[in-house]
Amino acid sequence: MRVALLTLEALASAAPVRRFVATYPDRVAFVGLSDPYRPQRGGMLRQLWRLLRQSGPRLLPYLAINFELPRIARWLPQRWMPPGWLPARGAGVEDTPMLTLCARLGIPAGIVADMNAAAFHARLLATGADLVLTFHCDQILSAATIDCLPHGGLNVHPGLLPDHRGPVPTIHALLADPPRFGVTIHRLVPRIDAGPILAQVHLDLPPETSALQAALHLHEAAIPLVIGVLDALARGPVPEAAVETRPYCGFPSAAQLSQLARMNRRAASWRDVVRALRTPI
C-alpha cells in the first residue's frame, strides 16, 4: 500500500511526519503540504483575527510556537545560538524541512493551496498511490477527493475519538480531569473526524506535558499504527468500528484557556520553544 501523504508542517507534527517519510519512503508516492495561509482561509491576518476573537490572547503563544517559530528558525544564523545548542541544519531527518527531505529521497512533493480542486484530483491520480493519508492536515477533504484513489483515505487524529473531534484535541484532552490522551486511525469521510475507526491506542503522558508536547508524542505513536493498518489493508478488508459522532471541539474559547491556566496546564511551554528552534520549516 502506497500513500499520498497530505500534511501541514508545524511543530505539533513535523518531526514525526518527517520520520515516517524517511523510514518508509517506499510507502510514500507523493507528499502534499497544505498552505496554512491560503487565500481561501483569508490569509494569515484574517485567520489570526478570527482565532483571537474566539480564543483571546492566551492562544497566541501556542500559535506562535506551533506555526511561526519553526519558520523563523529556518532563517536564524546559527552563530546566534550557544555552541552545541542546535544541531547543524540538515544534519538529521527531524530538522530537515519536508520539501528538502522529499527531494533527497526522490519523492514527488509540493505545496497545495486547495486539496479539493479538480487540478489536484488529477495530480493525485497521477501519483499511483493506493490511498490518501492525512497526517496533521488542516484541509477538510471532499468526498470527490477521498474517492480519487482506490482505497479512499485514512486520517491520523491525535485524540481518542469519538471524543475531541477537531483541530486541537490535545488542548481539550488537558481540559479533562484526568487528561486522556491517545491516537486514532480512522477512515476519511467529508465530516470532520467522523469516519469509522481502524486502530486506536491510549497513552499515559507525564502531568507536566503541554498540548504541543502531547501532540508530538501522539503523532510519533501513530507511525506503527499507520504501518499496521496499511499492511492489514494490503491483505484484505480490515474491521472498521463505526462510532457515534460526538460534538465538534474547535479552537478553545477564552474561558477554556483561562480554565487550563487555573489547572496549571499549558497549551505550550518553554520546552516547546526550544524544540521549535530545532525543527525549522
Domain range list for the chain? 3-277
The per-residue pLDDT for range 192-240, each reduced to its tens digit, is 999 999 999 999 999 899 999 999 999 999 999 999 999 999 999 899 9
Could you give the CA distance from residue 14 to residue 7 in angstroms, rounded to a whole number?
A: 9
Tell me 271's DSSP state: H
pLDDT value of position 37: 84
| pLDDT confidence tier of residue 36, bands split at 50, 70 and 90 | confident
Say if residue 57's pLDDT is above 90.
yes
Largest CA distance in the chain: 54
Average pLDDT rounded to a whole number, residues 273-281: 90
Backbone angles phi, psi at 71, to 5 degrees: -75, -40
Specify burial of residue 178 (Cβ count, 10 A radius: 0-12, 13-18, 19+).
Answer: exposed
Q: C-alpha grid cell for residue 23?
A: 523510514
Say if residue 161's pLDDT is above 90.
yes
pLDDT value of position 45: 84
Reduce the secondary structure of 34-99 to three states and give it as a string.
ECCCCHHHCHHHHHHHHHHHHHCHHHHHHHHHHHHHHHHHCCCCHHHCCCCCCCCCCCCCCCCCHH
Reduce the secondary structure of 204-245 to three states and give it as a string.
CCCCCCCHHHHHHHHHHHHHHHHHHHHHHHHHCCCCCECCCC
Average pLDDT rounded to a whole number, residues 74-96: 67
Express as a percent the part of the chain with pLDDT over 90. Answer: 80
The per-residue pLDDT for range 86-135, each reduced to its tens digit, is 555 556 888 899 999 999 999 999 999 999 999 999 999 999 999 999 99
pLDDT value of position 87: 53
pLDDT value of position 158: 98
The per-residue pLDDT for range 190-199, each reduced to its tens digit, is 999 999 999 9
Strand 181-187's sheet: what is its strand order? 109-112, 28-34, 3-7, 131-135, 153-157, 181-187, 197-203
pLDDT value of position 73: 82
Q: Which CATH number fits domain 3-277: 3.40.430.10, 3.40.50.12230, 3.90.850.10, 3.40.630.30?
A: 3.40.50.12230
pLDDT value of position 89: 54
Average pLDDT rounded to a whole number, residues 145-159: 97
Could you give the CA distance from residue 33 to residue 9 in angstroms, rounded to a whole number?
A: 7
pLDDT value of position 79: 57
Express as a percent the part of the chain with pLDDT over 70. Answer: 95
The per-residue pLDDT for range 13-30, each reduced to its tens digit, is 999 999 999 999 999 999
The per-residue pLDDT for range 167-180, each reduced to its tens digit, is 999 999 999 989 99
Q: What is the mean pLDDT of the chain?
A: 92
3-state SS class at 8: coil
Q: Is the dihedral of CA 147, 104, 15, 33 positive or negative?
A: negative
